[in-house]
Amino acid sequence: MDIFSTAQIFKSIEQTQSVDDVLEKITKGLSMESGHALVRIWLLNSGKETEEYLDLVSSHGQSLTGKVWTNTNGQFSRVALGERKIGYVGEGNEVLISDISQDATWIKNPEWARQEKIKSFAGQPLYFKGEIIGVLAVFSRQSMISKDMNFLKAFAVLAGCAIANAQAFEEIEQLKEKLEQENEHLRQEVVQAHKFKEIIGDSPALHKVLEQIELVAPTDSTVLINGDSGTGKELIARAIHEKSKRSDKPMIKVNCASIPRELFESEFFGHVKGAFTGAVRDRIGRFQLAEGGTLFLDEVGEIPLDLQSKLLRVLQEGQFERIGDEKTIRSAVRIIAATNRDLKNIIPEGFRQDLYYRLSVFPIDMPTLKERSSDIALLADFFLSQFSQRYGIPKPKIKKKHITQLQSYDWPGNIRELQNFIERALIISQGEGLNFEIQTSGKTAMVNPSDLEADILTDAEVRAFERSNILRALEECNWKVGGANSAAHLLQMKPTTLASRIKAMNISKRNN
Q: Quick count: other Cβ atoms within 10 Å of Cβ 98?
A: 18
139 vs 35, 110, 446, 495, CA distance in Å?
A: 9, 13, 87, 62
User: How high is the pLDDT of residue 79?
Assistant: 85
Give the list of residues 6+ apart from residue 231 with CB closer than 8 angstroms, or none: 366, 367, 368, 369, 414, 415
CATH topology for 196-365 is Rossmann fold (3.40.50)
Residue-wise pLDDT tens for the chain (512 aa)?
555 465 667 666 766 668 888 888 888 888 887 788 899 999 987 544 446 788 898 999 888 887 878 888 777 888 888 888 888 998 889 989 888 887 766 677 788 888 888 888 999 999 988 888 999 999 998 888 888 888 888 888 888 888 888 888 877 777 777 676 666 655 555 444 433 346 888 889 998 999 999 999 999 999 999 999 999 999 999 999 999 999 999 999 999 988 888 888 988 998 888 788 777 778 888 998 899 999 999 999 999 888 899 999 999 998 999 888 878 888 899 999 999 999 988 998 889 999 999 999 999 999 999 999 989 999 998 999 888 888 888 888 888 888 888 888 889 889 999 999 998 888 887 766 777 765 443 333 434 433 333 445 566 667 777 888 888 888 888 888 887 778 888 888 888 888 888 888 888 776 55
Q: Which CATH architecture has domain 3-169?
A: 2-Layer Sandwich (3.30)
Distance CA 107, CA 373 (A): 80
Q: State how far the Cα of 17 lies from the Cα of 60, in Å rounded to an integer.
A: 20
Q: pLDDT at position 167, please?
A: 82
Q: 59-77: string of b/e by CB count within 10 Å (b at 16+)? A: bbbeeeeeeebeebeeebe
CA distance 125 to 500: 63
Residue 438's beta-bridge partner residues? 445
362-365 β-sheet, strand order: 251-255, 294-298, 334-339, 223-226, 362-365
User: What pLDDT is attached to residue 163?
Assistant: 86
CATH of 370-504, one of 1.10.8.60, 1.20.1440.230, 3.40.50.1100, 1.10.150.120: 1.10.8.60
CB 479 within 8 A of CB 488: no
Q: Can you give the pLDDT at residue 191?
A: 43
Domain segments of the chain: what residues?
A: 3-169, 196-365, 370-504
pLDDT recorded at residue 144: 86
pTM of the model: 0.55
E strand or H helix that includes residue 364: strand 362-365
Report helix, strand or coil for 60.
Answer: strand
Say what the pLDDT of residue 108 is.
76
The CA distance from 490 to 492, in Å, is: 5
